[in-house]
């Protein structure tokens, strides 16, 4: 059947169609958590109930808000630099096979180094300020960006490149018209992974040695056995990560309309990918 | 005899890979007149695509010479327009922006290129699809767009490599007639590769038959059918006898 014959659902129906199942599931889990926390008789510092977590969030909001600000600044700067760095590395690897073969093992090796071991060293070298946190975020985020973008650049159809060459296209024109746009979906896949890691990266760096931020809030709450506040920080971190992810997803759909055509989505839906 | 448009003189090409060498073309000679529609048939892997890559200028022959419009030509890139079997439209550009690629590459400003392409869209049946992405179009429509892109390169020589090979029989017939119509208007020299012997006869002024690898031209026949061609002509006796002659040249038992 021709996919264009199908009735396309209005946007709002579509949103609920997609958002309702996960929302219901989250509500269910929170409900179970609440029941277990209340009925089991465990003390609040072992398992606080969702209501207690919400209360802790509300009561410490004055401390949480600037902490969120600090973490967001570190995350944004780190992520921004990681994007530039990752794309540049991918571009360099694309220039020649020799460069790719030389760089790839180093990239992989950089990811095998434990962040928890590196972070304190960065604190010793660069102090308790912004720089070491930004470095940790870069270290975590540039890898998925570089690898995905490099794969995307390499994925350009060789027949397409040959066709443009036959039309007399220069290397630069082929880059601009074929290789770069072909790499965009992969770049965004990398970016989606990177943003979800970025907040966690910044938080870990603050935990290890920070003078502000959500990581420090978490560490102090843990030391004070204020488990409800630890949970509050976890929830806030998750919400920020999900928010960033959604933002990237929306950006991706705006920038790559050709990749998210109605036909393709219906095809995905039919194949059960959604 | 009319002026020659493309001439291959004793062209040979051998490929070397993994310590093996494969002789793709062997002492191939072929002359195509200005404004002629030549169809080229041959078994799979006989070097037809190599021949095109040589004429386009993506490859250089080991031996022999290639002449374009009467002159030996070493810098051929950009002088010949080539259309491969796959439409190879850029998925991130709409149809209008896809067909203007050859103009854009030669430095025509985008707006001007769009204007020129826009007025040609109806001829290719694409006027309703200017702003559609290729993924929204059927295979036949995409080939039309690929052909408009080939035409907009404004070259006198067109190389079409099985452009209808992936289409269903009905769409293929429709596009054959339409291609001849477009060709009549623009009058380029066309070399058209196909696996389909009937298609070769229906479209061509002459049909050239290539041998299995290493490829060379083993037979060239004139198609005496008048133009414009009509689908009904495929039932004429002359058509059947040409078909039999060509199938025999290809080594098919009939």
Residues B126 and B228 in one domain: no
Residues B66 and B189 in one domain: yes
A150 in a structural domain = yes
Report the relative pairing of strands B63-68 and B4-17 from DSSP bridges. antiparallel
Alpha-carbon distance B154 to nearest alpha carbon in chain A (angstroms): 11
| DSSP class of A113 | S
A167 in a structural domain = no
pLDDT in tens, B125-178: 899 999 999 988 988 899 889 989 998 888 889 999 988 888 888 888 888 988
CATH number at residue B54: 3.40.50.300
pLDDT in tens, B80-100: 998 888 899 999 999 999 999
Residues B140 and B61 in one domain: no
Residue of A nearest to B75 (CA): A168
- Non-local CB neighbours of B93 within 8 Å, separated by 6+ positions: A258, B101, B133, B134
pLDDT in tens, B33-76: 999 999 999 888 788 888 998 999 888 999 999 999 888 877 88
Higher-confidence position of B19 and A135: A135
A204 in a structural domain = yes
B238 in a structural domain = yes
Side-chain half-sphere of B158: how many Cα atoms within 13 Å?
29
A102 in a structural domain = yes
Angle (CA) A71 A77 A80, round 5°: 130
Q: Residue B193 pairs with which residues in a beta bridge?
A: B40, B161
Residues B233 and B115 in one domain: no
Cα-based torsion angle of the residue sequence A223, A224, A227, A231 in order, rounded to the nearest 10 degrees:
-70
Report the relative pairing of strands B71-72 and B63-68 from DSSP bridges. antiparallel
B239 in a structural domain = yes
Question: Sign of the CA dihedral B248, B168, B178, B108?
Answer: negative
Residues B119 and B54 in one domain: no
| Cα separations in angstroms, A210 against A64, A82, A205, A213, B38 | 15, 21, 7, 7, 76
User: Which one of A2, A3, A162, A167 makes the best mutation probe of the B interface by having the most chain B beta carbons within 10 Å?
Assistant: A167
Residues B49 and B104 in one domain: no
- List chain B residues with CB under 8 Å of A257: 133
Alpha-carbon distance A10 to nearest alpha carbon in chain B (angstroms): 20
Domain count, chain A: 1
Angle (CA) B122 B123 B126, round 5°: 45
B254 in a structural domain = no
B230 in a structural domain = yes
| Whole-number Å distance between alpha carbons of B4 and B2 | 6
Contact across the interface for B88 and A167, Cβ inside 8 Å: no
Q: What are B103's two structure tokens?
A: 């103009």
Among the partner residues B93, B105, B135, nearest to A167 by beta-carbon distance: B105
* Domain span including residue B238: 4-80+157-249
CATH number at residue A247: 1.10.3720.10
Per-10-residue mean pLDDT for chain A, 274 residues long? 49 77 92 92 88 93 94 96 95 87 88 86 90 93 93 90 90 91 94 94 90 92 92 94 93 89 60 51
pLDDT of res. B70: 83
Domain count, chain B: 2
Q: Where are the alpha helices (DSSP H) in chain A?
A: 11-39, 50-59, 61-95, 97-112, 115-126, 130-154, 158-166, 171-174, 180-209, 214-223, 227-255, 262-270
Residues B24 and B70 in one domain: yes
- List chain A residues with CB under 8 Å of B78: 166-168
A271 in a structural domain = no
Peptide bond into B214 cis (omega under 30): yes
User: Which one of A163, A164, A169, A260 makes the best mutation probe of the B interface by having the most chain B beta carbons within 10 Å?
Assistant: A163
pLDDT of res. A2: 44
Contact across the interface for B90 and A181, Cβ inside 8 Å: yes
Tell me which of B133, B154, B175 is where a domain ends: B154
pLDDT of res. B195: 87
Contact across the interface for A163 and B102, Cβ inside 8 Å: no
pLDDT of res. A1: 39
Interchain CB contact of B56 with A (< 8 Å): yes
Residues B128 and B197 in one domain: no
A240 in a structural domain = yes
A76 in a structural domain = yes
pLDDT of res. A83: 96
Side-chain half-sphere of B79: how many Cα atoms within 13 Å?
20
Tell me which of B112, B133, B154 is where a domain ends: B154
ipTM of this model?
0.85
- Non-local CB neighbours of B21 within 8 Å, separated by 6+ positions: B14, B15
| Whole-number Å distance between alpha carbons of A76 and A78 | 5
Given the structure tokens 């600000």, which residue do they identify?
Answer: A69
Residues B150 and B161 in one domain: no
Nearest of A44, A94, A42, A40 to residue A221 by alpha carbon:
A44
pLDDT of res. A272: 52
Residues B165 and B150 in one domain: no
Confirm if B158 and B139 have CB atoms less than 8 A apart.
no
Residue B3 pLDDT grade (very low, low, confident, very high; cuts 50, 70, 90): confident
Residues B161 and B61 in one domain: yes
Tell me which of B118, B138, B154 is where a domain ends: B154
Residues B185 and B232 in one domain: yes
Burial class (CB in 10 A: 0-12, 13-18, 19+), A44: middle
* Domain span including residue A216: 49-157+183-265
């Amino acid at each position: 059947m021709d996919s264009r014959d199908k009735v396309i659902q209005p946007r709002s129906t579509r949103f609920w169609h997609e958002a309702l199942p996960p929302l219901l599931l989250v509500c269910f889990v929170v409900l179970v958590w609440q029941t277990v926390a209340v009925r089991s008789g465990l003390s609040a510092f072992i398992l606080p109930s969702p209501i207690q977590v919400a209360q802790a969030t509300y009561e410490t909001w004055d401390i949480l808000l600037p902490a969120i600000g600090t973490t967001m600044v570190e995350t944004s700067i780190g992520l921004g630099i990681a994007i530039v760095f990752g794309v540049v590395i991918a571009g360099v690897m694309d220039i020649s096979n020799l460069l790719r073969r030389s760089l790839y093992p180093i990239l992989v090796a950089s990811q095998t180094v434990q962040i928890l071991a590196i972070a304190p060293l960065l604190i010793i070298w660069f102090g308790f300020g912004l720089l070491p946190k930004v470095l940790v975020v870069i270290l975590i985020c540039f890898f998925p960006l570089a690898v995905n973008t490099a794969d995307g650049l390499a994925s350009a159809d060789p027949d397409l490149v040959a066709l443009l060459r036959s039309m007399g296209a220069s290397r630069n024109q082929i880059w601009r018209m074929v290789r770069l746009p072909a790499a965009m979906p992969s770049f965004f896949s990398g970016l989606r992974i990177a943003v979800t890691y970025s907040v966690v990266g910044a938080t870990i760096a603050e935990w290890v040695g920070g003078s502000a931020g959500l990581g420090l809030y978490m560490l102090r709450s843990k030391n004070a056995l204020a488990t409800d506040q630890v949970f509050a920080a976890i929830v806030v971190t998750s919400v920020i990560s999900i928010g960033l992810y959604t933002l990237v997803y929306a950006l991706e759909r705006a920038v790559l309309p050709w990749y998210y055509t109605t036909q393709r989505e219906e095809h995905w839906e039919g194949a059960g990918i959604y | 005899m009319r002026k020659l448009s493309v001439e291959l003189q004793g062209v040979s090409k051998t490929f070397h890979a993994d310590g093996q060498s494969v002789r793709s073309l062997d002492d191939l000679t072929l002359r195509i007149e200005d404004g002629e529609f030549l169809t080229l048939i041959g078994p799979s892997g006989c070097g037809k695509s190599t021949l095109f890559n040589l004429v386009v200028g993506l490859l250089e022959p080991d031996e022999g010479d290639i002449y374009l419009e009467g002159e030996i030509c070493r810098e051929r890139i950009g002088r010949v327009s080539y259309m491969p079997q796959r439409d190879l439209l850029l998925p991130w550009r709409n149809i209008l922006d896809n067909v203007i690629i050859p103009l854009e590459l030669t430095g025509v400003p985008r707006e001007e290129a769009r204007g020129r392409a826009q007025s040609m869209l109806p001829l290719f049946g694409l006027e309703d699809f200017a702003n559609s992405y290729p993924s929204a179009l059927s295979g036949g429509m995409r080939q039309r767009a690929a052909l408009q892109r080939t035409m907009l390169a404004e070259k006198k020589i067109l190389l079409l490599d099985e452009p209808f090979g992936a289409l269903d029989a009905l769409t293929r017939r429709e596009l054959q007639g339409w291609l001849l119509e477009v060709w009549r208007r623009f009058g380029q020299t066309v070399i058209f590769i196909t696996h389909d012997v009937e298609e070769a006869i229906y479209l061509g002024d002459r049909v050239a038959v290539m041998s299995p690898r290493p490829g060379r031209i083993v037979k060239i026949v004139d198609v005496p059918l008048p133009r414009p061609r009509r689908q009904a002509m495929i039932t004429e006796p002359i058509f059947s006898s040409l078909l039999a002659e060509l199938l025999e040249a290809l080594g098919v038992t009939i």
